Amino acid sequence: MDGTGIDLIVRERMKVVEGDITRLDVDAIVNAANSSLLGGGGVDGAIHRAAGPGLLAECRSLGGCPTGEARITGGHELPARHVIHTVGPIYDQHLPVEAARLLRSCYVESLRLAEEAGLETIAFPGISTGVYHYPKTEACAVAASAAAEWLAAHHLPRVVTFCCFSVADAALYRARLGIVD
């Protein structure tokens, strides 16, 4: 292990990409949703636009989702076969330690649903780091440690991708994961 604290075997199952998560051809993309699961702006809006009206119709049947939990749907018109919707913490509404617990839960619950569904590949956006104002450096550390711990203990998903919407975000993840492209 280098300074990241992540074993090489685990790190080889983690990827960082820059771009639009709606274009990724993976088994599941994760949506940074709100508790209604009825769409919104940011990545939520982008996913619903790309998935088409069938996604909203399916989400209506789910009855919402509490912060820190996750729900799985089909991918509809997306390249991804599934969407895992998770609701991150609104950073300013929690003490930092509670916000970190909730954010970690978003990653772990999404990974658990992916494993239960037998999915091999999953891609995450930076949950809560937009409208919900979670500081990106802290969120990256939570995401990286949650994913690394999961992968060290589980065969599925086989590969976790962090889909960053900016070059700066991608550099943050590559530095935290010790990934040199």
Measured from the CB atom, the residue of 91 and 150 that comes closer to ligand APR is 91
- Other C-beta atoms closer than 10 Å to the C-beta of 133 total 14
Measured from the CB atom, the residue of 20 and 115 that comes closer to ligand APR is 20
User: Cα 154 to chain center, whole Å?
Assistant: 17
User: What contacts 75, CB < 8 A, 6 or more positions away?
Assistant: 28, 29, 51, 81, 82, 83
Q: Does 17 bind ligand APR (CB under 6 A)?
A: no
- Give, for 44, the enclosing helix (H) or strand (E): helix 42-51
Q: Does 126 bind ligand APR (CB under 6 A)?
A: yes
Residue type, 117: A
* Token code pair at residue 145: 């440690």
Q: Does 67 bind ligand APR (CB under 6 A)?
A: no
Measured from the CB atom, the residue of 10 and 75 that comes closer to ligand APR is 75
Q: Does 75 bind ligand APR (CB under 6 A)?
A: no
**CB 170 within 8 Å of CB 16:** yes
Measured from the CB atom, the residue of 10 and 100 that comes closer to ligand APR is 100
**CB 55 within 8 Å of CB 148:** no
* Token code pair at residue 148: 């690394």
DSSP annotation of 1: -
* Least CB distance to ligand APR at residue 140 (A): 10
Q: Does 44 bind ligand APR (CB under 6 A)?
A: yes
Q: Cis (ω within 30 of 0) for the bond into 157?
A: yes
Q: Does 22 bind ligand APR (CB under 6 A)?
A: yes
* Least CB distance to ligand APR at residue 152 (A): 25
Instruction: Pick one of 8, 12, 41, 152: the residue that binds ligand APR (CB under 6 A).
Output: 41
* Least CB distance to ligand APR at residue 155 (A): 26
Q: Rule CB under 6 A: which residues touch ligand APR?
A: 20-22, 32-34, 40-46, 88, 125-132, 163, 165
